[in-house]
Amino acid sequence: MTQVSMTVNGKAASGEVEGRTLLVQFLREDMGLTGTHVGCDTSQCGACVVHVNGEAVKACTMFAIEADGAEVATIEGQANADGSLNVIQQAFQDHHGLQCGFCTPGMVMSAAALLKDNPKPTEAEVRHYLDGNICRCTGYHNIVKAIMAASGQDVAALAAE
Amino acid sequence: MYNFDIEKPTTVADAVQALGADEAQPLSGGQTLIPTLKARLAAPSKLVSLAGIDEMKGICMDDEGRLCIGGATTHATVMREAEAHYPALASLAARIGDPAVRNRGTIGGSLANNDPSACYPAGALASGATIVTNTREIAADDYFQGMFTTALEEGELVTEVKFPVPQAAHYEKMIQPASRFPLVAAFVAKFSDGVRVAITGASNDGVFRWTQAEEALSNTFSAEALEGMQADGDMIADLHGSAEYRAHLTGVMTRRAVAAIA
């Protein structure tokens, strides 16, 4: 076993892990942060997307030891300091950007990574960026709409309800 | 996944030494290796992470005007930082996998793995790149030796890749949407002394140069020069496409790449 220490959502986190322990296992099983989901476990679906040192990664395809010393952000750390939903989360609620909700943590984390680099993406850019996030309810239109709305753009003309 | 130890050296020399252990294997971005380990298709006793080796990261131009990319440089970094020097290669990097995969996956990992459908082998072969390892320099023409096979010896690491920058180039990829690998893709690079064309995704022998197209294009650089042509060879046939379909796509992708340049 190896000792790892990292910062998760601004707080110090440490634990003993095996070489094979995935970052997502460490977050869910050792830290109790079960908001990060495991969908496919083969880095296709994006339900496990978290940020490591500010970059979106699939937590099912990175070892916990590789995140030693890193700043990790998960869905649990996304709300505002007063507990209210942040602008992306609120937009998902307002625009019905989730159905069953399983993919939502990864969608929100990917959206946050996109908007950090590209604050006013086009609809096509949002869709392209979400290549690695699968919604099995197929609710993509409203997810895209929510992300466009979160970027402060007018979404009245976007397709579908 | 079977268990293993992970070492995190900070220099190439320490990594090479760590790889001397029995059943040790390098870990770069892990975007192929970790799924392979999960499927128990590999059982190393030790993984040697290359992610902490700063001398293997980053992009620069050398005195000969070649774009040099460290082996542990991620696709996302190449996408951003190669744009000003070699836009077609930056575009190739920008279309690998998805954003989260590009933040982890590396050029050295892709070239060492030499997946028959990977993108970077096409870029390296068409550019006539030089693969630099901890012990030697290997020309791309000698490096790729068939599906998942390269000139690398056991424990040898891709530390850097040097790309001659063509006058113009384009990477055209027919994406296989489930895996986001190319079904078939063509990289066309136009140099002052001739044209190089590399095809990935099509052949059971892995990435290859389509020399017939190179000759036609070196003569007349236009999509029409390739009218009716397609590459020969032992093409991959699977549930995503027949051998005939892939052979057909070699012509279509190459003509589109040429049309995008011309």
Residue A82 domain flag: no
State which H helix or E strand residue A73 sits in.
strand A71-73
| Nearest by CB: A56 against B1, B99, B178 | B99
Position B178 scores a pLDDT of 84
Distance from CA of B193 to the nearest CA of A (A): 37
Q: Please give the residue of chain A at the shortest CA–CA distance from B177.
A: A131
Architecture of domain B5-49: 2-Layer Sandwich (3.30)
| Nearest by CB: B100 against A58, A63, A68 | A58
| Nearest by CB: A46 against B27, B38, B100 | B100
CA pair distance B187, B257, nearest whole angstrom: 7
Considering the domain architecture, whether residues A11 and A57 belong to the same structural domain is answered as yes
Order of strands, edge to edge, in the sheet holding B168-175?
B168-175, B182-191, B194-200, B208-209
Considering the domain architecture, whether residues A26 and A70 belong to the same structural domain is answered as yes
CATH of the domain at A52: 3.10.20.30
Residue A157 domain flag: no
Residue A70 domain flag: yes
* Number of domains forming the structure of chain A: 2
Is residue B2 classed exposed, middle or buried when 0-12, 13-18 and 19+ CB atoms within 10 A define those classes?
Answer: exposed
CA pair distance B155, B15, nearest whole angstrom: 9
Considering the domain architecture, whether residues A47 and A100 belong to the same structural domain is answered as no
Query: What are B's interface residues with A at a Cβ cutoff of 8 A?
Result: 1-6, 8, 27, 30-31, 34-35, 37-38, 47, 49, 51, 76, 97-101, 103-104, 178-180
In one letter, which amino acid is B82?
A
Q: Please give the residue of chain B at the shortest CA–CA distance from A59.
A: B100
- The residues facing B190 across adjacent strands are B168, B195
The full set of domain ranges for chain B reads 5-49, 56-163, 168-261
Q: Is the pTM of this model over 0.90?
A: yes
| Nearest by CB: A66 against B49, B97, B179 | B49
> For A8-55, what is each residue's pLDDT tens digit?
999 999 999 999 999 999 999 999 999 999 999 989 999 999 999 999
Over the Cα atoms of chain B, what is R_g? 18
pLDDT class for A152, splitting at 50, 70, 90? very high
Residue B148 is encoded by which pair of tokens? Answer: 């998942």
Considering the domain architecture, whether residues A71 and A98 belong to the same structural domain is answered as no
Residues of A in contact with B100 (CB under 8 A): 43, 46, 49, 56-58, 110, 132
**Domain edge (last residue) among A76, A105, A129:** A76
Residue A122 domain flag: yes
Whether A132 and B3 lie within 8 Å, measured CB to CB: no
Residue A6 domain flag: yes
Considering the domain architecture, whether residues A6 and A66 belong to the same structural domain is answered as yes
> For A95-107, what is each residue's pLDDT tens digit?
999 999 999 999 9
Residues of A in contact with B8 (CB under 8 A): 65-66, 68
* Domain extent for A123: 87-150
The beta strands (E) that lie in B116-253 are given as: 130-133, 137-139, 158-163, 168-175, 182-191, 194-200, 208-209
Whether B103 and A20 lie within 8 Å, measured CB to CB: no
Position B180 scores a pLDDT of 86
The yes or no reply on domain B168-261 and CATH 1.10.8.60 is: no
Whether B100 and A49 lie within 8 Å, measured CB to CB: yes
Residue A124 domain flag: yes
Q: A24 with A89: CB under 8 angstroms?
A: no
The yes or no reply on domain B56-163 and CATH 2.140.10.10 is: no
Considering the domain architecture, whether residues A15 and A56 belong to the same structural domain is answered as yes
Neighbour tally for B223: CB within 10 Å = 17
Average pLDDT per run of 10 along chain B, which is 262 residues long? 96 97 95 96 96 97 97 98 98 97 98 97 98 98 97 96 98 91 97 97 97 98 97 96 98 98 88
Residue A113 domain flag: yes
Position A160 scores a pLDDT of 56
Whether B98 and A61 lie within 8 Å, measured CB to CB: no
**Domain edge (last residue) among A57, A76, A95:** A76
**Domain edge (last residue) among A48, A76, A104:** A76
